[in-house]
Chain A
Amino acid sequence: MESIRTLLELMPGYRDLPEFLQETLPSFCASLVIFAFIGILVMFLVWMERKVSAHMQDRLGPMYTGGWHGWAQLIADSVKLLTKEDIVPTAADRLLFKTAPFIVFVGAFAAFVVLPFGASSIVSDLNIGILYAVAITSLSVVGIIMAGWASNNKWALYGGMRGAAQIISYEIPAAMSIMVVVMQVSSLSMQDIVNAQKGGILHWHVFRNPFSFVAFFVYFICSLAEVNRTPFDIPEAESELVAGYHTEYSGMRFAFFYMSEYTNMFVVSAIATTLFLGGWTSVFPESLLPKWAPPGPVHFVLKAIILIFVQMWLRWSLPRLRVDQLMYMCWKVMIPLSFALILGVGFLIIY
């Protein structure tokens, strides 16, 4: 953010602009950068998902488009999705139907504001960073319910309701496991949390003490449920609910749902990286690092992508839970466990 402002100040005539433009232009540029990053990231992740699933299933996946292992397949796919007809069902609630995909996407997009890609690569290091991230990512529930309701389709309605119930339930244990880290750092700022883990792999929260070790897995499982990935993909369970809340969507709007799914995957993995896996710090202590060591953002994105790979791995090997089993898992296993973790870590801090 600061670097974007400095760059803009080099632009001739920037100082002569009205004051509100001087204030908003850097934020606007930052959001453009993030948007471009999300676009490329989603394309890469979808390609990766197709490749991972293909190799797990004895296939090759996309191989032709673009030459090398079908790298351009997703560009072709996006062009296809963007040029498709945008169908709105006659009986749908047009306004809600049209806005829902964007609200879902905004939830994922806005979380990027506080993601600490590097020591200075963060849009805004809010002092309530992690709270903001937890709050803004749950905005997508609103979009999901809107989509499910507005489609005027019973399957979509089921998907929307399931999605709402699931995401709201799993937010509780996820937030509790985040608390385990926050209590140890005693700060909500993302950069403070990363700085507390400097000094190599043994200083990462996940390996600090048994409580945060378990908290990492609790958070990871809950984040799977929050982004509707297998084994918790019941809101969009293909074989049960056709396609869940986005049954009636096509073209561009469908692409937005798709994009927000993968963006959300990255966001939850990035939050897990920040909280438990040392964020942008390296695996080795800084004193051991050579001069040519890659910068922080590389570490950060790589760690997040490794977590995303685990999500894909689970998706392509596990069946789906039933909705009552999912709720049982949340209310009777995850929530008591996360409470116990908070208690445990509290004792650890006091004594």
Chain B
Amino acid sequence: MEFKYDGEVMTLNMGPQHPSTHGVLRLELKTDGEMVADAIPHIGYLHRCFEKHAENVEYPGVIPFTDRMDYLASMNNELGYCLAVEKLMSIQVNNRVRCIRIIMAELNRIASHLVAAGTYGNDIGSVTPFLHCFRDREKILDFFEETCGARLLYNYNWIGGLMYDLPVGLEDRIIDFLNYFEPLVDDLNHLFSYNHIFVKRTANVGILPADVAIDYGVTGPNLRGSGVKFDVRRDEPYLGYEEFDFDVCVGRGQFGPVGSCFERYIVRIYEVKESCKIVRQAIAKLTPGDVKESIPKRVKPPVGEVYMRTECPRGELGYYIVSDGGIKPYRVKVKSPCFTVMGAFREMSRGTMIADIISIIGSVDIVLGEVDR
């Protein structure tokens, strides 16, 4: 849509306390009536000095801080950090640890995508999918609670191993859950994803072409929504993801150009199904073993630096750790997927309407805890 100023421009401040900015994002909107000429995101309202904190605690002490970055996918966050430190110290973990880590990471991905889909429904104006999604997410959180005692911030992945082994019989309960859950994804599609009004609201809105997405460094479902088949799990496998059979889902352009809000949303729904597949395979691969076998008594990596990237629900989460040979990291830098997508936000939202701004924020699925860290 071509935008022309034909009246007075009103600056509208959306957030940080706006119901649908997914936390404390502040947007400065230049509006002319319902049209938005420009939307400038202002971030930093949730800055908690994660990186500076990390320089002042010992290596294992950083893990709880990583939990608090992307609080909807803590398992994935701490996994990335642990893998980075393990890479630095050249620790090999056994098969059981790898499989449990994959199970937990993928379950957390499902939970996180359910929140994304549900809150997106809320943004578009339909409250029912939100509660249906949260109902199923609760069941996943119950598994986490059984495993490590926490429902949101787990501190479950440790450097070189896990905090506890799986509780007895959890594998069967997870399989039961998947059997119950997989048909419900189709229910959600019937109720919401392919609803005519929803498609009208999201297809053709907030288009991010593939080349622009790559230029801005957008990753994860947002990049795949633009039609780029890139997934760290497939292209740079860690934890033995190369042995698993799963598809990298990309936007298919069903109702409009690839890269629209609808594509970004529907890629997450596809991914939920793929994650279910991975969890089933990982449970089948589980072998007995000691999950604390390779936990080092003292985490004191050699001098050096490491970059480890993993596929978080929101995209590629990279940890760059510099070690000076001490017990505390010299520097921890996080490459956050939500932060990079905020850069492309202006590109997507220029010349749209106020209601579209909401639907764009919802579709990129940001967690402000990770944007600001």
Q: Residue of B at shortest CB range from A54? A: B131
- Contact A237 B34, beta carbon cutoff 8 Å: no
- Contact A318 B126, beta carbon cutoff 8 Å: yes
Distance of A86 from chain B, by nearest CB (Å): 22
Measured in the bound complex, the distance between the Cα atoms of B19 and A318 in whole Å is 19
- Contact B197 A59, beta carbon cutoff 8 Å: no
Total A residues in contact with B, Cβ cutoff 8 Å = 28
Q: Residue of A at shortest CB range from B121? A: A319
A311-344 interface bits toward B, Cβ cutoff 8 Å, 1 = contact, 0 = none: 0000011111111110000000000000000000
- Contact A238 B201, beta carbon cutoff 8 Å: no
Interface size class of B (residues with CB under 8 A): 20 to 34
- Contact A239 B125, beta carbon cutoff 8 Å: yes
Task: Determine which residue in B10, B20, B127 has the highest number of CB atoms from chain A within 10 A of its CB, and name it.
Answer: B127
Q: Residue of A at shortest CB range from B356? A: A322
Residues of B within 8 A of A317 (CB): 126, 128, 191
Distance of A342 from chain B, by nearest CB (Å): 28
Residues of A within 8 A of B126 (CB): 230, 316-320
- Asked if B123 lies at the interface with its beta carbon under 8 angstroms from chain A, I say yes
Q: CB < 8 Å: which of B34, B125, B132, B353 contacts A319?
A: B125
- Contact A237 B355, beta carbon cutoff 8 Å: yes
Distance of B28 from chain A, by nearest CB (Å): 12
Q: Residue of B at shortest CB range from A234? A: B355
Q: CB < 8 Å: which of B191, B195, B354 contacts A240?
A: B354
Distance of B165 from chain A, by nearest CB (Å): 33
Measured in the bound complex, the distance between the Cα atoms of B31 and A241 in whole Å is 14
- Contact B127 A53, beta carbon cutoff 8 Å: yes
- Segment 232-252 of A: residues with Cβ below 8 Å from B: 233-234, 237-242
- Asked if B200 lies at the interface with its beta carbon under 8 angstroms from chain A, I say yes
- Contact A323 B355, beta carbon cutoff 8 Å: yes
- Asked if A208 lies at the interface with its beta carbon under 8 angstroms from chain B, I say no
- Contact B355 A59, beta carbon cutoff 8 Å: no
Distance of A244 from chain B, by nearest CB (Å): 12
- Asked if A58 lies at the interface with its beta carbon under 8 angstroms from chain B, I say yes
Residues of B within 8 A of A230 (CB): 125-126
A208-246 interface bits toward B, Cβ cutoff 8 Å, 1 = contact, 0 = none: 000000000000000000000011011001111110000
Closest 7 CB pairs of A and B: A320-B125, A57-B131, A239-B20, A319-B126, A319-B124, A322-B355, A319-B125
Interface residues of B, Cβ cutoff 8 Å to A: 10, 12-13, 18-20, 34, 121-128, 131-132, 135, 191-192, 195, 197-198, 200-201, 353-356, 358
